[in-house]
């Protein structure tokens, strides 16, 4: 086979003898079954349960709850970093306060006669900007 019969090679076009064989993967061993990715590991750690004693009472908390309690405790001790981080989490995750009243405004109840008087089409001739009557132009 001379060099003229070969397909062009270069970036993204390896020589034919180095290309993947048909039906064979480029990574035959692949990822192990049951291998954990980062999200799965973080989720497992965040939901782990821990036994702690708070103010003399034993409690069970998950890791996230425990970390927020530690942040609150350090913030109350005067840690500026803990206070900023706790405030950042409060703004991001806490629901909006519901102590502010919400109002609904409804229009006054009108009788049929009052509604017709206010909202029915008028027989008046509409006027333009200068006070002259508007006439349709065809």
The predicted-structure confidence for 76-108, as pLDDT tens digits, reads as follows: 999 999 999 999 998 888 877 777 777 777 777
Q: Alpha helix locations (H) across 3-58?
A: 38-46
On the question of pLDDT at 41 being above 90, the answer is: yes
Burial pattern 40-75, b for ≥16 Cβ within 10 A else e, equals eeeeeeeeeeeeeeeeeeeeebeeeebebeebeebb
On the question of pLDDT at 43 being above 90, the answer is: yes
Residue 134: per-residue pLDDT: 56
Please, which residues bridge with residue 53 across strands?
58
Contact criterion met (CB below 8 Å) for 46 and 64: yes
Residue 3: per-residue pLDDT: 55
Contact criterion met (CB below 8 Å) for 54 and 69: yes
């Amino acid at each position: 086979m001379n060099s003229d019969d070969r397909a062009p090679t270069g970036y993204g076009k390896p020589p034919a003898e180095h290309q993947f064989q048909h039906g064979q993967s480029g990574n035959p061993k692949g990822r192990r079954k049951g291998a954990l990715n980062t999200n799965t590991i973080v989720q497992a750690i965040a939901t782990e349960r821990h036994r702690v004693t708070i103010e003399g009472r034993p409690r069970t908390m998950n890791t996230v709850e425990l970390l927020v309690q530690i942040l609150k405790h350090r913030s109350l001790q005067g840690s500026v970093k803990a206070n900023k981080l706790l405030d950042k989490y409060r703004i991001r995750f806490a629901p909006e306060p519901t102590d502010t009243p919400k109002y609904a405004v409804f229009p006054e109840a009108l009788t049929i006669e009052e509604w017709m008087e206010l909202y029915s089409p008028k027989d008046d001739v509409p006027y333009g900007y200068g006070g002259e009557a508007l006439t349709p132009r065809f």
